């Protein structure tokens, strides 16, 4: 990792192990241009790629065609209103409502380490393993400063970018759009990869060509949602899972976001990512600053799989924090699909007693323990224990669970308020709403105005009181509806456009307070399943519930899409009962265990009611988790086959960093008549090493396993699964 300034060529070289990123300073005016992002270069001058030697030349040489220059120059931070007619990275309105800005370089510094982003989640690093380039740009007319930060990390092919605006002018300005990263590059027949979805079908993978014009994936729900991800990758046409160049971008943010590719007249592509400008505006008074979220760029010359592994390494080592970051998570049993709202102390203790016998390590009490919460129509906001359900109180229940040798976890939905709640009756104005317009309900609930500190203080005080009242070691933080009818009583008319962003900052503030007050707490985020599975949330919680769809076969697709960016250590995955509550499918208990093993692993069923045969498998599954979790959590992930593409089978593997061990998960989704055994080519092993497959006599060289492969026999039936454990011989 290195950041170098080359005086002669006026360029900055950001070096990661296998990639180089080059920024060039151009013309007497100091335009900041993008010259190169690709395979690692030696220290050589590639600023010619900015084509400033070609007509229309730079304004210094050809002032009469300034606009033509701006309209094609590859910019690092393109602004709007002065001649670059492509998508802008920043749109500023001055006090007279004119929309124009032009940022040019004023100064720069290269420092060891990386500063925190005020109030926002971001990657982190030490002075030894991280370096940061800070470019200070200025719009001279507005007096507005833009600080562009670029950080590189030891051993990782990623660059973290962010932008901070500081108003050093005399007048207020309004930010109407601010992208965290923008990248101009020549189109090389790129395809684009995005993740799309819906409730119970989160993060499906979609690959299409980049066509002319703007193509985006954007959220307006106040969170990324089940539907969108703040992610896009550009792929060379021939790039595959294992080969070819891929550039991925992911925003570390949990609110409205947009990621887009704008292919233009000169066949270059502008890739950018940031806060969704729709519904956003932010007033910056003189002396004030605005920090935009961080975006991460990943370069891979090893195809899509290489990109995923880099994101995993970066997020495991430089984003996720806290005690559980590198630790095996306790195997939990959650009562949601077991009881829904119909539970009491005895029922929970029955579940815990049985679970403890099999080695399950934590009971999580889900929705329904507070206020008048007998169904999902009421009581959100009333964070007081319902002692009618929990006879003897919360502490009694937790103590009893602890006596069984198990930990205890609890569910909250801190951002919500039910119209039928004591909190709403006392503070109807705490709900997000537009005066004079009836706010829409979703799951019969409103959203609390998290931009208001007094509301956050109240919620924090209630949560902390509950958490201090007993030995609670885990919190599931849920959020079951998107945001709309946006209005805050605390914001003046001209600042309502700040709501969405301030809401997210409020959520971050509350989560930070929670993990600071309870440093040993394991926090799991959740949003009606996986509507807020994003890198922002991972800064606060090392794991996120992936989806309300717990069916093992559906989960293959959901977890594959999730693992495109996010590490397996972060994916909340449980074994649930059959017929599955979302799709009605019957799958073998064994297979459900194999699929949940690719995530945090746990149970979501009534252990007192499942069949004897299923129950008998739980202790084995628990042993399996203990045997493989270190490998799954810390290893390198390789996709081998997706049943969503081939109809018949799914296969992926995790290889230990030292290449001494690997675990292959194979699921035969559909049995196929009259077929041979299937030949599977393994990946990521050391070609020279000798391996054995657990349970077999013979040994194989790594190169054999990867090139000749192994044969997996027909498993007779649908939804059958198999683990193949590979060890260095």
Instruction: Tell me whether residue 411 or residue 446 sits nearer to ligand DGJ (CB atom).
Output: 411
C-alpha 317/C-alpha 349 separation (Å) is 38
Q: Is 706 exposed, middle or buried (0-12, 13-18, 19+ CB in 10 A)?
A: middle
C-alpha 540/C-alpha 254 separation (Å) is 11
C-alpha 293/C-alpha 287 separation (Å) is 20
Region 574-603 residues binding ligand DGJ, contact defined as CB under 6 A: none
Catalytic residue among 262, 548, 549, 606: 548
Instruction: Tell me whether residue 480 or residue 668 sits nearer to ligand DGJ (CB atom).
Output: 480
Per CB under 6 A, the list member of 526, 544, 570, 667 interacting with ligand DGJ is: 526
Instruction: Tell me whether residue 294 or residue 548 sits nearer to ligand DGJ (CB atom).
Output: 548
Region 1-30 residues binding ligand DGJ, contact defined as CB under 6 A: none
Neighbours of 2 (CB within 10 A): 12
Q: What's the Cα-to-Cα distance from 544 to each of 365, 474, 580, 673, rounded to whole Å?
A: 17, 12, 21, 39
Closest contact distance (angstroms) between CB of 604 and ligand DGJ is 8
Does position 606 bind ligand DGJ by CB under 6 A?
A: no
C-alpha 633/C-alpha 653 separation (Å) is 12
Mind giving me the DSSP string for 45-90? --GGGG-TTSTT--TTT-GGGHHHHHHHS-BSS-BSSSS--S--SE
Range in contact with ligand DGJ (rule: CB under 6 A) among 67-75, 88-96, 507-515, 522-530? 522-530
E-strand spans in 376-420?
Answer: 407-412, 416-417
Range in contact with ligand DGJ (rule: CB under 6 A) among 15-23, 526-534, 590-598, 717-725? 526-534
C-alpha 271/C-alpha 262 separation (Å) is 7
Does position 567 bind ligand DGJ by CB under 6 A?
A: no
Does position 478 bind ligand DGJ by CB under 6 A?
A: yes
Instruction: Tell me whether residue 184 or residue 478 sits nearer to ligand DGJ (CB atom).
Output: 478
**Pick from 532, 527, 514, 549: nearest CA to 416:** 527
> 479-498 in b/e burial notation, b at 16+ Cβ within 10 A?
bbbbbeebbbeebeeebebb
Instruction: Tell me whether residue 370 or residue 411 sits nearer to ligand DGJ (CB atom).
Output: 411
Closest contact distance (angstroms) between CB of 559 and ligand DGJ is 15
C-alpha 254/C-alpha 577 separation (Å) is 31
C-alpha 586/C-alpha 300 separation (Å) is 39
The answer to whether 171 is a known catalytic residue is no
C-alpha 250/C-alpha 708 separation (Å) is 36
Closest contact distance (angstroms) between CB of 554 and ligand DGJ is 14
Instruction: Tell me whether residue 291 or residue 550 sits nearer to ligand DGJ (CB atom).
Output: 550
Range in contact with ligand DGJ (rule: CB under 6 A) among 19-27, 216-224, 280-288, 523-531? 523-531
Instruction: Tell me whether residue 338 or residue 470 sits nearer to ligand DGJ (CB atom).
Output: 338
Instruction: Tell me whether residue 278 or residue 342 sits nearer to ligand DGJ (CB atom).
Output: 342
Closest contact distance (angstroms) between CB of 244 and ligand DGJ is 36
Per CB under 6 A, the list member of 33, 197, 528, 599 interacting with ligand DGJ is: 528
Instruction: Tell me whether residue 373 or residue 501 sits nearer to ligand DGJ (CB atom).
Output: 373
The answer to whether 375 is a known catalytic residue is no
Catalytic residue among 366, 478, 534, 718: 478
C-alpha 104/C-alpha 317 separation (Å) is 34
Token representation of residue 1 = 């990792």
Per CB under 6 A, the list member of 229, 258, 480, 642 interacting with ligand DGJ is: 480
Per CB under 6 A, the list member of 262, 548, 551, 590 interacting with ligand DGJ is: 548
Closest contact distance (angstroms) between CB of 322 and ligand DGJ is 22
Range in contact with ligand DGJ (rule: CB under 6 A) among 150-158, 493-501, 521-529, 627-635? 521-529
Instruction: Tell me whether residue 411 or residue 652 sits nearer to ligand DGJ (CB atom).
Output: 411
**Pick from 631, 639, 702: nearest CA to 667:** 639
Instruction: Tell me whether residue 273 or residue 480 sits nearer to ligand DGJ (CB atom).
Output: 480
**What are the φ and ψ backbone dihedral angles of 605, each rounded to 5 degrees?**
-165, 165
Q: Helix 552-562 and helix 589-596: axis angle, to 10°?
A: 10
C-alpha 211/C-alpha 187 separation (Å) is 10
Neighbours of 426 (CB within 10 A): 9
User: Binding-site residue total for ligand DGJ (CB under 6 A)?
Assistant: 11
Closest contact distance (angstroms) between CB of 342 and ligand DGJ is 13
Closest contact distance (angstroms) between CB of 343 and ligand DGJ is 12
C-alpha 650/C-alpha 509 separation (Å) is 40
Region 608-627 residues binding ligand DGJ, contact defined as CB under 6 A: none
Instruction: Tell me whether residue 423 or residue 641 sits nearer to ligand DGJ (CB atom).
Output: 423
Per CB under 6 A, the list member of 84, 94, 366, 382 interacting with ligand DGJ is: 366
Instruction: Spell out the SS3 assignment of 223-280.
Output: CCCCCCCCEEEEECCCCCCCCECEEEEEEECCCCEEEEEEECCCCEEEEEEEECCCCC
Closest contact distance (angstroms) between CB of 527 and ligand DGJ is 7
Does position 529 bind ligand DGJ by CB under 6 A?
A: yes
Closest contact distance (angstroms) between CB of 526 and ligand DGJ is 5
Does position 554 bind ligand DGJ by CB under 6 A?
A: no
Signed CA dihedral, 65, 71, 75, 80: sign only: positive
- Say whether 404 sits in a helix, a strand or coil: coil
Task: Note whether 405 and 356 are within 8 A (CB).
Answer: yes
- With CB atoms as reference, the residue minimizing the distance to ligand DGJ is 367
C-alpha 150/C-alpha 133 separation (Å) is 5
Instruction: Tell me whether residue 51 or residue 373 sits nearer to ligand DGJ (CB atom).
Output: 373
> 506-519 in b/e burial notation, b at 16+ Cβ within 10 A?
bbbbbbebbbeebe
Q: Is 589 exposed, middle or buried (0-12, 13-18, 19+ CB in 10 A)?
A: buried
Token representation of residue 716 = 């007779």
Closest contact distance (angstroms) between CB of 524 and ligand DGJ is 10
Q: Is 562 exposed, middle or buried (0-12, 13-18, 19+ CB in 10 A)?
A: buried
Letters for 301-340 (x = contact with ligand DGJ by CB under 6 A, - = none) are: -----------------------------------x----
Per CB under 6 A, the list member of 231, 499, 545, 700 interacting with ligand DGJ is: 545
Closest contact distance (angstroms) between CB of 367 and ligand DGJ is 4
C-alpha 29/C-alpha 139 separation (Å) is 11
Question: Quick check: bond before 579 cis, omega within 30?
Answer: yes
Does position 367 bind ligand DGJ by CB under 6 A?
A: yes
Task: Note whether 462 and 512 are within 8 A (CB).
Answer: no
- Helix count and strand count (H, E) for the chain: 14, 39
Does position 167 bind ligand DGJ by CB under 6 A?
A: no
Closest contact distance (angstroms) between CB of 373 and ligand DGJ is 9
Region 388-427 residues binding ligand DGJ, contact defined as CB under 6 A: 411
Closest contact distance (angstroms) between CB of 151 and ligand DGJ is 34
By CB under 6 A, name the binding residues for ligand DGJ. 336, 366-367, 411, 478, 480, 526, 528-529, 545, 548
Looking at the annotation, which residues are catalytic?
A: 478, 548
């Amino acid at each position: 990792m290195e950041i170098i300034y080359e005086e002669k060529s006026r360029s900055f070289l950001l070096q990661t192990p296998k990639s180089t990123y080059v920024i060039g300073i151009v013309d007497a005016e100091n335009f900041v241009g993008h010259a190169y992002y690709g395979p690692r270069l030696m220290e050589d001058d590639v600023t010619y790629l900015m084509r400033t030697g070609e007509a229309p030349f730079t304004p210094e040489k050809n002032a009469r065609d300034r606009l033509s220059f701006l309209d094609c120059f590859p910019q690092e931070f393109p602004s709007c209103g002065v001649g670059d007619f492509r998508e802008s990275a920043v749109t500023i309105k001055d006090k007279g409502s004119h929309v124009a800005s032009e940022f040019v370089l004023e100064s720069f510094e290269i420092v060891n380490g990386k500063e925190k982003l005020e109030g926002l989640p971001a990657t982190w690093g030490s002075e030894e393993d991280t370096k940061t380039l800070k470019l200070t740009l200025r719009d001279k007319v507005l007096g507005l400063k833009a600080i562009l930060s670029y950080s590189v990390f030891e051993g990782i092919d990623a660059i973290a970018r962010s932008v901070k605006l500081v108003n050093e002018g005399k007048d207020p300005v309004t930010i109407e759009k601010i992208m965290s990263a923008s990248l101009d590059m020549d189109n090389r027949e790129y395809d684009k990869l995005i993740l799309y979805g819906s409730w119970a079908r989160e993060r499906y993978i979609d690959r299409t060509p980049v066509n002319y014009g703007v193509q985006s994936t954007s959220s307006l729900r106040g969170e990324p949602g089940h539907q969108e991800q703040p992610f896009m990758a550009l792929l060379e046409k021939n790039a595959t899972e294992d080969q070819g160049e891929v550039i991925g971008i992911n925003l570390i943010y949990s609110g409205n976001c947009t990621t887009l590719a704008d292919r233009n007249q000169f066949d270059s592509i502008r890739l950018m990512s940031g806060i969704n400008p729709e519904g956003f505006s932010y007033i910056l008074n003189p002396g004030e600053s605005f920090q935009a979220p961080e975006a991460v760029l990943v370069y891979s010359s090893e195809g899509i799989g290489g990109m995923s592994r880099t994101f995993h390494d970066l997020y495991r080592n430089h984003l996720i924090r806290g005690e559980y970051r590198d630790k095996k998570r306790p195997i939990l049993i959650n009562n949601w699909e077991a009881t829904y709202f119909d539970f009491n102390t005895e029922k929970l203790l029955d579940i815990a007693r049985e679970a403890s016998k099999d080695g399950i390590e934590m009971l999580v009490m889900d929705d329904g323990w507070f206020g008048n919460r007998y169904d999902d129509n009421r009581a959100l906001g009333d964070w007081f224990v319902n002692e009618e359900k929990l006879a003897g109180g919360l502490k009694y229940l937790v103590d009893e669970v602890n006596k069984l040798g198990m930990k205890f976890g609890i569910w909250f939905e801190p951002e919500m308020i039910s119209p039928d709640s004591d909190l709403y009756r006392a503070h109807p104005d705490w709900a997000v709403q537009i005066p004079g317009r009836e706010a829409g309900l979703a799951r019969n609930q409103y959203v609390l105005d998290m931009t208001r500190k007094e509301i956050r203080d109240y919620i924090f005080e209630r949560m902390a009181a509950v958490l201090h009242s007993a030995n609670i070691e885990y919190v599931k933080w849920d959020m079951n509806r998107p945001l709309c009818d946006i209005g805050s009583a605390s914001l003046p008319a001209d600042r309502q456009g700040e709501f969405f962003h301030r809401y997210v900052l409020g959520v971050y503030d509350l989560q930070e307070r929670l993990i600071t007050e309870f440093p040993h707490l394991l926090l799991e985020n959740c949003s009606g399943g996986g509507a807020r599975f994003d890198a922002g949330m991972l800064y606060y919680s090392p794991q996120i519930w992936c989806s309300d769809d717990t069916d093992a076969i559906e989960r293959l697709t959901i977890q594959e899409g999730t693992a495109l960016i996010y590490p397996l250590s972060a994916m909340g995955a449980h074994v649930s009962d059959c017929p599955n509550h979302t799709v009605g499918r019957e799958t073998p208990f064994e297979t459900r265990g194999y699929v949940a093993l690719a995530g945090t692993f746990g149970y979501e069923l009534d252990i007192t009611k499942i069949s004897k045969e299923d129950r008998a498998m739980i202790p084995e599954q628990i042993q399996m988790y203990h045997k493989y979790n270190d490998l799954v959590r810390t290893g390198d992930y390789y996709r081998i086959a997706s049943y969503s593409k081939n109809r018949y089978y799914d296969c992926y593997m995790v290889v230990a960093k030292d290449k001494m061990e690997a675990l292959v998960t194979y699921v035969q989704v559909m049995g196929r008549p009259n077929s041979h055994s299937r030949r599977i080519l393994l990946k990521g092993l050391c070609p020279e090493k000798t391996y054995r497959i657990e349970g077999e006599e013979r040994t194989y060289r790594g190169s054999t396993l990867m090139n000749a492969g192994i044969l997996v026999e027909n498993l007779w039936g649908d939804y059958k699964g198999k683990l193949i454990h590979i060890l260095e011989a």
